[in-house]
Amino acid sequence: MIDTPWGVILPGVADAFGVFMMTQFYKSIPKELEEAAMIDGSGRWGTFFRIVLPISQTQLLTLALLTFQGAWSNFMWSLLVLRSPENFTLPIGLQWFRGEYYTLYSVILAGSLFNTLPIPIVFFVFQRYFTRSIAFTGSKEG
């Protein structure tokens, strides 16, 4: 997978932070929700797809946003995997404008703006999903 976009994408699909974050979230879901679904006649997969997955949408979206941010700004892994200039990511491409004796700061700053811009745009587009994270839990301890 050297010099392909898949060599950059696939290793970041399941990283340690994502496994830890989702494990901690799934441990916080009350067992009463799953037991109520079992009493209503739902199986394990039905409980997962009808109860647990809708509750975890915001956490999955948060994980996707954080993973996207990390992958978008990743420099070292992309530098190790990608060889040809047509496959370079934006941070690696910006390095081409730094010379040993001369640096094109105007081009680097414009490229840095384009490198930074997608993260706030993605966040503001999906902000409504972050704000309704509590509304889907549907349980009341006590």
Q: Which CATH number fits domain 12-131: 1.10.3860.10, 3.40.50.300, 1.10.287.1770, 1.10.3720.10?
A: 1.10.3720.10
Tell the residue number behind the tokens 């067992």, with chain if given: 31
pLDDT for 67 beyond 60: yes
Percent of the chain with pLDDT over 70: 90
CA distance 90 to 80: 14
pLDDT, tens digit, 9 for 90 and up, residues 92-133 = 888 888 887 888 888 889 989 988 898 888 888 877 766 665
Domains of the chain, residue spans: 12-131
Note the pLDDT of residue 142.
Answer: 43
